[in-house]
Chain A
């Protein structure tokens, strides 16, 4: 006999893929799908723009200051390398990965709790009894919205973080504006942007579908909605961290 935790893991993984299979079918009504898609773009995308911009600006500033601190005193590394290092860090790691993990907290808990509340108040059963494919109705617009809006969020984050770095570098006197811009314009492998976008799409998928799974299969009441929301954030963050390693090894290794 297999150990219980292995059976439990494969049972949960199986239910997750069954849910996805039900979600990835043709919408039963395109006009309803269109409305839901636009609503999810607003709920999951536009509503995340504020926190993404705010965090990116300050993290970009901190990255630039720490780069400057590390390079300080070096006789051979020019100051404009602060901008270069900031750019590379932001594009490769901070924006696609750290922002995705931050969004796990915001979007993940929202998705898990909203679907979970629908489950405990019998709204999902109401969909099922009408003949609506509830998995498709609830998940597909969220997945489509997140996949289409995540690149916009990540590009915004990259631009804002670099801007934050520039502001920090100038105000702290680490380097001049001209030096920072020179550093930014140093040779750049454009594949890094492709890499960042691939990561952002994979993470967008994870940060919607994992919390949706936790919400969809809730059993119980309000307390269980809270538990599912917490578990969804922990689980999706963990998966993103693991996938980050796998994608980095695969695409850049």
Chain B
């Protein structure tokens, strides 16, 4: 479980995150949604420790990040997996080396043990036989899957995904969403996904936080989101023509 408590962050005098608090449960896909510029990425990066908030605290399994020593913070990082928007695969390495990288850095496994583990991770993301390919030879969807394989290779407790569907076609987006959801439930990870894709929200969102102008404007489940009365979330959700049509047909019935 991960808890954000009163997170605030400003850049050059402009407040980007305003007193955000929330709890993200283990074994669930938690989604942060909102329009571009709402502060989703800054919030997600604050949760990962990449950005230090100006105020507030984050509790990882009940342990305060602010109270952790440097060693504890480093150990915590080994429990974090992250899938970046563009994949952030290392260009100078092939797929196997990319996925193996965290093991090379932080484990004492032998080369063959690491290879077995990489094969397992690649099979888990349905990407066998790409070990020798370089990131440049992969499609967008394959890059995301390799990034997910690298994210789960250390058996993390926390998985963060920054817009995992961006740049993907709708079919591949669904495959990636399903994959993240399956992995989350299978390994009981606390998964936090940053997205503005309503398909993802309806497909895999078990807990949803809606940000607007740096504030938490709404919180609930995917079942609740369609019935929400909050004008901000209603505007956001029904900006999608498909959902708008769905709502209208529901009302007609």
- Residue numbers of A with Cβ under 8 A of B are 28-29, 31-32, 39, 117-118, 121-123, 125-126, 128-132
Q: Say what secondary structure dominates the interface of chain A.
A: helix
Q: Is the CB of B105 within 8 A of A132?
A: yes
One digit per residue, 1 when the CB lies within 8 angstroms of any chain A CB and 0 when it does not, for chain B 63-93 equals: 0000000000011111010101110111110
- Residue numbers of B with Cβ under 8 A of A are 45, 48-50, 74-78, 80, 82, 84-86, 88-92, 101-102, 104-106, 160
User: How far is the CB of B27 from the nearest CB of chain A, in Å?
Assistant: 22
Q: Is the CB of A31 within 8 A of B74?
A: no
- Residues of chain A lying within 8 A (CB to CB) of residue B74: 131
Report the separation of the CA atoms of residues A168 and B50 in the bound assembly, to the nearest whole angstrom.
59
User: How far is the CB of B51 from the nearest CB of chain A, in Å?
Assistant: 10
* Residue from A28, A29, A123, A132 within 8 A of B88 (CB atoms): A123
Given A125-B84, A129-B49, A129-B80: A28 touches B105 (CB 8 Å cut-off)? yes
Q: Is the CB of A126 within 8 A of B84?
A: yes
Report the separation of the CA atoms of residues A123 and B77 in the bound assembly, to the nearest whole angstrom.
16
- Residues of chain B lying within 8 A (CB to CB) of residue A121: 86, 88, 91
Q: Is the CB of A129 within 8 A of B106?
A: no
- Residues of chain A lying within 8 A (CB to CB) of residue B75: 131
User: How far is the CB of A171 from the nearest CB of chain B, in Å?
Assistant: 44
Q: Say what secondary structure dominates the interface of chain B.
A: mixed
Q: Which 6 A-B pairs have the closest CB atoms?
A: A131-B77, A126-B88, A122-B88, A122-B84, A129-B82, A29-B105
User: How far is the CB of A220 from the nearest CB of chain B, in Å?
Assistant: 15
Q: Is the CB of A29 within 8 A of B82?
A: no
Report the separation of the CA atoms of residues A32 and B101 in the bound assembly, to the nearest whole angstrom.
9
Report the separation of the CA atoms of residues A138 and B85 in the bound assembly, to the nearest whole angstrom.
22
* Residue from B91, B92, B106, B160 within 8 A of A131 (CB atoms): B106
- Residues of chain A lying within 8 A (CB to CB) of residue B91: 117-118, 121, 123
Residue of A nearest to B101 (CB): A130
- Residues of chain A lying within 8 A (CB to CB) of residue B85: 122
Taking A28-B105, A118-B90, A125-B50 as given, write out 20 further A-B residue pairs in contact, using a Cβ cutoff of 8 Å, ordered by the A residue number.
A28-B106, A29-B106, A32-B104, A32-B105, A39-B92, A121-B86, A121-B88, A122-B84, A123-B89, A123-B91, A126-B84, A126-B88, A129-B50, A129-B160, A130-B78, A130-B105, A130-B106, A131-B76, A131-B77, A131-B106
Report the separation of the CA atoms of residues A117 and B89 in the bound assembly, to the nearest whole angstrom.
12
* Residue from B45, B77, B89, B92 within 8 A of A130 (CB atoms): B77
- Residues of chain B lying within 8 A (CB to CB) of residue A29: 104-106
Q: Is the CB of B77 within 8 A of A126?
A: no
User: How far is the CB of A31 from the nearest CB of chain B, in Å?
Assistant: 7
- Residues of chain A lying within 8 A (CB to CB) of residue B90: 118, 123, 126
- Residues of chain A lying within 8 A (CB to CB) of residue B89: 123
Report the separation of the CA atoms of residues A57 and B105 in the bound assembly, to the nearest whole angstrom.
43
- Residues of chain A lying within 8 A (CB to CB) of residue B80: 129-131
Residue of A nearest to B103 (CB): A29
User: How far is the CB of B100 from the nearest CB of chain A, in Å?
Assistant: 10
Given A31-B104, A125-B50: A131 touches B78 (CB 8 Å cut-off)? yes
User: How far is the CB of A250 from the nearest CB of chain B, in Å?
Assistant: 39
Q: Is the CB of A122 within 8 A of B86?
A: yes
Report the separation of the CA atoms of residues A131 and B73 in the bound assembly, to the nearest whole angstrom.
8
- Residues of chain A lying within 8 A (CB to CB) of residue B105: 28-29, 32, 130-132
Report the separation of the CA atoms of residues A118 and B45 in the bound assembly, to the nearest whole angstrom.
17
- Residues of chain B lying within 8 A (CB to CB) of residue A31: 104
- Residues of chain B lying within 8 A (CB to CB) of residue A123: 88-91
Report the separation of the CA atoms of residues A31 and B77 in the bound assembly, to the nearest whole angstrom.
20
Residue of A nearest to B45 (CB): A125
The winner among B76, B78, B105 for most chain A CB atoms within 10 A is: B105
Q: Is the CB of A126 within 8 A of B106?
A: no
